Amino acid sequence: MGEDVRVRAVVALAQAMAAAHTPRESWRAAALGARDALGGSFAALSVWEREAGRLRVLVNEGERAPGEAEFPDDETYPVHQFPEITEFLHEQWAGGGEPNAWVETAEGLPGPADSCASVTGGGGATGSGYCHQRVAALRRRGRGCCVVAPIVLHGRAWGELYVARRPGEPVFGRADADFATVLASVIAAGIVQTERLEEVRKLAFTDPLTGLANRRAVDIRLDEALEAHRSTGEVLSLVVCDVNGLKQVNDTLGHATGDRLLERFGSLLSLCGAMLPGTLAARLGGDEFCLLSAGPGADEVVAVADELCVRATELEYGDGVACGVASTGDPIGEVTSARRLFRLADAAQYRAKAARSRKPVVAGRDGEVLPLAESARRGTPAPGTDRRRFRGTGPSGERGRPGGEG
């Protein structure tokens, strides 16, 4: 392959990874770009999970063998079976060299311990006598040869790039191993960028205190779920909770204890939300939380809300939780907007708060529950309307003040 072609391949790989929006897209772009750049028929990306002592395959692209998924859930290999990343390469690296790629073929010596026909890049010595299981893996999957390059992030081995060719095709040579090392470096830079974007995305949609989703994430998910409800009739439910007694905890025991109460309730909310598949657990701001469920029936959601109320009374601090539920599976009228569903659940929660109810108030079941604005127009302000005035919705879309109100 000419120098210009390889330069263009490197640029194309970098651009494809830069255009990726998620880690999966980034991994896929890396594998496809490396496969095409090296003229392979198959490529994979694996990460070294040190704590588990294994290589976990992130993506398989190209001509996959039976049992190989594009994004496998559980394709892992103990590093003692493929120890180059921990031993062979490390020794070269410690000697002052760069982490080199190596080439192997399916032509090994017969017997229980196949010898690998290896050649390293970067001018390193061949891997003569270094035995492992890649030869058997090549044969088992019908591949003729492969080149493997370590991916290095922040000065540490992160994982491996693996590119293979079919039997009968030209075997990768030293120049290919050198080029694979370059591609692995480009992939490493792309992975770093993706990780930074993921961190920014996480900060944008995650509540820093509890680790739950934040109001911004709820608004986006609620709009998406409402579209699904309109097109398929899928049940959409919202549970809005207000932690009772937070202000008193803050005033008497300090804000650090109040934060612990919020964290503990957030964990409880996550636990209960997990009982409803696909449910989003979120902190809206201050002492207000919610569960957003799409799919499960209204009765299932109410049962989980009831369980949440029971468990909240068992927390060390606070005074339980006020909980309101609104579900399209109940007779609440047509839900024409996400805002209406939110306001119905909010109004139900305020009714529960005013009544000091230990059980959730459910719109459409526990008498007429009206959104706050609609209730005010009728001249019957909902309980807690005065308290609502101090909350509002700020530019960020999050309600409430830090510390919230009891």
Q: What is the pLDDT of residues 242-296, one digit of tens each?
A: 999 999 999 999 999 999 999 999 999 999 999 999 899 999 999 999 999 999 9
Q: How far apart are CA 153 and CA 176, in angstroms?
A: 22
Beta bridge partners of 162: 44, 148
Report the CATH architecture of 206-388: 2-Layer Sandwich (3.30)
Question: 239: closest CA among 198, 281, 200, 203?
Answer: 281
Which two three-digit tokens encode residue 148?
């493997």
Which two three-digit tokens encode residue 7?
């330069």
Which CATH number is associated with domain 3-204?
3.30.450.40
What contacts 307, CB < 8 A, 6 or more positions away? Answer: 272, 275
Residue 74 phi/psi, 5° resolution?
-145, 35
pLDDT in tens, 145-193: 999 999 988 877 899 999 999 999 999 999 999 999 999 999 999 999 8
pLDDT in tens, 214-247: 999 999 999 999 998 999 999 999 999 999 999 9
The backbone region for 279, taken as left when phi is positive above 0, alpha when psi lies in -120 to 50, beta otherwise, is beta
**Domain edges within the chain:** 3-204, 206-388
- What is the Cβ-side half-sphere exposure of residue 323, based on CA atoms within 13 angstroms? 26
pLDDT in tens, 31-62: 999 999 999 999 999 999 888 888 999 999 99
What contacts 136, CB < 8 A, 6 or more positions away? Answer: 114
Q: How far apart are CA 265 and CA 164, in angstroms?
A: 50
Q: How far apart are CA 308 and CA 323, in angstroms?
A: 9
Q: How far apart are CA 82 and CA 118, in angstroms?
A: 14
Residue 57 phi/psi, 5° resolution?
-75, 125
pLDDT in tens, 327-385: 999 999 888 888 899 999 999 999 999 999 999 999 998 776 655 555 444 444 444 44
CB of 227 closer than 8 Å to CB of 311: no
**Residue 41, amino acid:** S
